[in-house]
Structure 1
Amino acid sequence: MNVVVYARYSYQGQSETSIEGQLEVCRKYAEQNNFHIIYEYIDRGISGRTDHRPAFQQMISDSSKRNFSAILVYQLDRFARDRYANAIYKQHLKKNGVKVISAMEPISDDASGVLIEAVLEGMGEYYSIELAQKIRRGQKICIENGTTLGGQTPLGYKIENKRYIINTDTAPVVRKIYEMYLANATMAEIIRYLNGQGIRTQKGNEYNKNSIRRILTNRKYIGCVSYNGEEYKNKVPAIVDEDTFNRVQIMMEKNKKAPARAKASDEQYILTTKLYCGECNAPMTGISGYSHTGVPYQYYSCVNARKKGRSCHKSNVRKDLIENAVVRVIRDSMSDSNISSIAKEVVNQYKKATASSNLPVLQKRLSEVKKAQDNLLHAIEQGQAIETLTAQLAKRQAEEEEIKASIAKEKLQDGFSATVESVISYLSHIRDGSENDIFYRQSLVNIYVDSVYLYDTSDGKNKKISVHLNTRNGVKEIPIDDLESSSMGSLVHHRGLEPRTH
């Protein structure tokens, strides 16, 4: 089989060695699986959260030539980190007969693999949420005991024995800023004074409006620490008194040129990346706003129908109606025996996918990066090209943080064990959750839904939805209430193990 390799590293401190490592793993995987690599696409210094990647876009375009059947990547996050973009581009590739294969995450590419990957991702997310809750509890105890959680130390403080104490060298600068502001000095005047005196921020930079504003609004300066929506008093030694702080807040509010606008809540559209127009096969995405009478609305709309020229005339569908219909389809199809069957298959695939760990490779890279940092520090101490070496050191430090994050993720996966019992418990928990809970609704869609197609009649009204699930029940008709409040029946496909094309 002819394949291409896609490799990428982002700007966060990675380097050419990251590309070579990805290519080496992909080439070895291709050799072991009798794949013939015909080309290697490489994007350097570009984040996976954007699709403005020259080599990536060229690869997507080249897929239409049908010269290759698969794209081989080191890990799936090399392809894309944005869930929406990932789904759209994979759908485009599917039409050209191209699939994406991860060398480090060997999960089968049939319907079984799709379901298994979704279940494992869901369980990993669920496990991560539980772990985050435990971490938050531990951090709350630290806050209550007055110990620091790390991060940037505010100007005026230093840390001893994991506790904030007043820095007698810089605390007067904080008090001076408050005094000047209360004396009606403008932000610009305060900035000019500090920078003119050679006084620098905690990071060693010149002051600007943002840095001054952060100092004037930081409640640590009156001894208060905020964590997870709660405020704890007298946990940090105060640098300014509470009366001074409050008077500054009143003055800042008066000095605002315009009142702040409340940020609109972004209601989650759970069918994003799953819902497609049955007329033109384009994605349908969420839109919201207010009618001329002031009534709020949320709809899914075909992206082609929203473009100039309207290449598609698909009508919109109310968000709540179609989401509720899809959730009911999923819940009705998940019997205990179905869940048990899925759990057994998930565990079998999980054991294959986790047979090898990437942890040793990451730990080796971390050791190399730390050694490189030591060499750079030594060179800086010797006075060699300080400005250039300092920039290189910053990149190495950023790379160290990224590797540490990958190691933490790997350890999390190692600590997570999928058993038949745990998968059954998780899937049952998701199935039996409240229909009004956004977490359960989103989890149901992420795990069980491959795609949803919405069709219109000749008069432009929504006619039916076709829900393609990742389960193995074959094709089955399930009646669904009319999406526009009139009776209807809808053909609902339950995706089997065989590939399906549209």
Structure 2
Amino acid sequence: MPRAVIYARFSSDMQREESIDAQVRACTAYAKSKGYEIVDTYIDEAKSGREVTKRDAYKKMLDDASHKKFDIVIFHKIDRNSRNEVDYYITKAKFLNLGIRYEYAVQSIDSSPEGQMMEGMLVAIAAYYSRNLAKETKKGLNENAYKVQFNGGTPPLGYKIVDKHYVIDNDEAEAIRLIFDLFIARHSYKDICCILAAKGYTTRNGQPFSKKSLYDIIGNERYCGTYTFNKIPKGKGKRNSHSKNRPDDFIRLEDAIPAIVSKDVFQQAQARRRINKERPAEYKAKVNYLLRGKIICGHCGSAMGGHTCTPRDKSYSYYSCLDKERIPTKKCLQKQIRKEDAEEAVITKIKNEILNSEAFSVIADKMRKKFANTKNSIDKKIADKQNQLTKAQKTRANLYKLVEKGIDDDFTFSKIKAAKETIDTLQAVIQTLKKSKKSKILSDAEIQKAFQLFNDKVKSMNDVEAKKLLIDLFLDKVIIIDQKLDIHLSTDAISNIIQK
């Protein structure tokens, strides 16, 4: 009995959850009439039909298909599958390559030339509907914008929406004015966050202000009364992108909404932002933070990042908790640690525990044992793949017999193609496993020689490059609690170094 799955979807375009029940009911009745066994049902709720890659259930169905869990996918109609021609045919090709076919509960589409033509027409109609709906929606949003009406989303802090129009929220607006005044008065983002917290101001969701939230507020020209819409094409970057990225239908209306700060105050703030961006090069000097991505705050679990300060023309570099840095009022107890202290402690441990002959002999012994176990494991994998290959070859032979008997439809040929691909893949895997099994176990002298060559390479590099190589190869992570370092090393890279 052929194994079938049902896929159902509803989007936000005038559909409700109840439409899922109707789709599943129709697909179930269709499967019963065909004598199919339903093995699973995939449902995406409130998901667009334009991009299958953004649908969780659809992605799960593709993954299950790769594991040969079913033979047929049943949709209610083509538009429940996809409303994008490229997505439709790419995913259909993936399914066909796996020997899986599409069927539709209420649309008669077969493999005949007429059926394929009908399928192409229905796919095009579904795509047209989606694009036209988006066009009409965009047209309505543009009209709202010209009327200076709220177009959805979350209004900026300091405003509330009344009858689709922006109205100043006086309590929140006080925080906005204070942010601009403090920034123009040359207070740092960190100082502004602390002052706002001391006065009891928070973001709209009740969280402390972060440096990023301040940056976004200071750059938002709505606060001086300018209304904008369509600043950049959808999905093409940040909302405050440079004007060169703006689409043709970008809308900008001066003095269109109530201003919380004057244009003069807003321009002063922008001038200071430009000064910050154009600071002298010495403030932007490149510092190699070698532990970046591997150093963790032991107090709150956040990543730690590099931070450089330059008082009196001398630079000092530290690692500090990024969560605490991002939100200055966050009550993380972590203290900064000097960059040099942290990195030297890690390098010293690597040299003491890995890069010395005594430690290395222990590692080499473990490697030999691991190599022997790996060979046994490879033997088992080869036997397993060989069994799979025998089954795939038998399946292909049976399919050829069907063709000889006159059963030569598209489904049979797709199954033959899938079986051939499986055979080719298994044969390649078996050859790779056999080659890896031929690798010889190195002698102590060969291991020692490889180890010495690696040490010579490290010594020939400049100090920063050598340290970076050692950290990248052997450091798993380092957890910092105040000035105490918990360093976790990994010797997995040793095998690759020696084999080379």
The alignment's TM-score, normalised by the length of structure 2, stands at 0.42
Larger Rg: 2
Q: Which has the higher helix share?
A: 2
Larger relative contact order (Cα-Cα within 8 Å, sequence gap ≥ 6): 1
